[in-house]
Amino acid sequence: TQLLEQSPQFLSIQEGENLTVYCNSSSVFSSLQWYRQEPGEGPVLLVTVVTGGEVKKLKRLTFQFGDARKDSSLHITAAQTGDTGLYLCAGESGGGADGLTFGKGTHLIIQP
Amino acid sequence: EAQVTQNPRYLITVTGKKLTVTCSQNMNHEYMSWYRQDPGLGLRQIYYSMNVEVTDKGDVPEGYKVSRKEKRNFPLILESPSPNQTSLYFCASSFSFGGVYEQYFGPGTRLTVT
């Protein structure tokens, strides 16, 4: 069974600060996806990274896929209250939609 | 608007009373899945479907049934619900783009079984 460990589980910081959340595994993934989920809603896809070492930026969010394709990180610069939510990583093992493994998520609270 | 819809959004029922949660997508996606989300356990896949009339078990299929008679619909059936099926349920659809399957989730159904 492939596992994805996300850290930290909970993070509460002040608006304007920077933060990084991590997604780690001992398994290799063909791609890795990051989702954000707000209370009362379903997860929404933020980005997919495919190539080892790949870096993608989405405004203040920077996503990186590890060189060995076993881990990923999400860095937020100058966090805003609108960034509050549950961040989920999901690794795809190449087996189709059934091959997606989700981490348990990082609960992020940005305080004004 | 491209979307995945689920009904009902909230449901309180009693043990043993059969129920169905509907799921529909308007994006012509081949793949559809059902997940449940529980505190401390994250998202776990219940069943998935690769196309019409093709379904298979996910990680936690016990106590659930699904059907895929049409491409757009993927209902989740609980024949005899039990309290341990109290959870937040999500339907998702996806398609293959260069071998990558990106999930589009519905808004969720919060089920309470008493």
Distance (Å, whole) CA B7 – CA A45:
22
Residue from A56, A74, A68, A88 nearest A25 by CA: A68
pLDDT single digits (tens) B82-91? 999 999 999 9
DSSP state of B22: E
Percentage of chain A lying above the pLDDT 70 cut: 93
The pLDDT value given to residue A94: 66
Residue A82 φ then ψ, to 5°: -70, -10
Q: Is residue B4 within 8 angstroms of chain A, CB to CB?
A: yes
Residue A8 φ then ψ, to 5°: -75, 170
Distance (Å, whole) CA B94 – CA B114:
33
Instruction: Name residues whose C-beta falls within 8 Å of residue B18's C-beta, 6 or more positions apart in sequence.
Output: B77, B78, B79, B80, B81
Percentage of chain B lying above the pLDDT 90 cut: 87
Bigger pLDDT: A32 vs B100: A32
Q: Is residue B41 within 8 angstroms of chain A, CB to CB?
A: yes
Residue from B37, B12, B33, B1 nearest A37 by CA: B37
Q: Is residue B5 within 8 angstroms of chain A, CB to CB?
A: no
B9's tokens: 């959004």
Contact: A92, B106; criterion CB under 8 Å: no
- Measured over the CA atoms of residue A107, residue A4, residue A24 and residue A72, the dihedral's sign is negative
Distance (Å, whole) CA A45 – CA A87:
10
Strand partners, B87: B111
Residue B98 has pLDDT above 80, yes or no: no
Residue A98 has pLDDT above 70, yes or no: no
**A63, A86, B18 from A34: Cα distances, Å:** 8, 10, 35
Bigger pLDDT: A94 vs A48: A48
Percentage of chain A lying above the pLDDT 90 cut: 85
Average pLDDT of the residues of chain A:
93
Average pLDDT of the residues of chain B:
94
Q: Are A48 and A30 in contact (CB under 8 A)?
A: no
Give the chain B residue nearest A31 (alpha carbons): B100
pLDDT single digits (tens) B47-65? 999 999 999 999 999 999 9
Residue B21 has pLDDT above 60, yes or no: yes
Chain A interface mutation, best of B103, B105, B110, highest count of A Cβ atoms under 10 Å: B103
- Token pair 């001992």 in the structure block, residue: A26
The pLDDT value given to residue A99: 67
Instruction: Name residues whose C-beta falls within 8 Å of residue A18's C-beta, 6 or more positions apart in sequence.
Output: A75, A76, A77, A78, A79
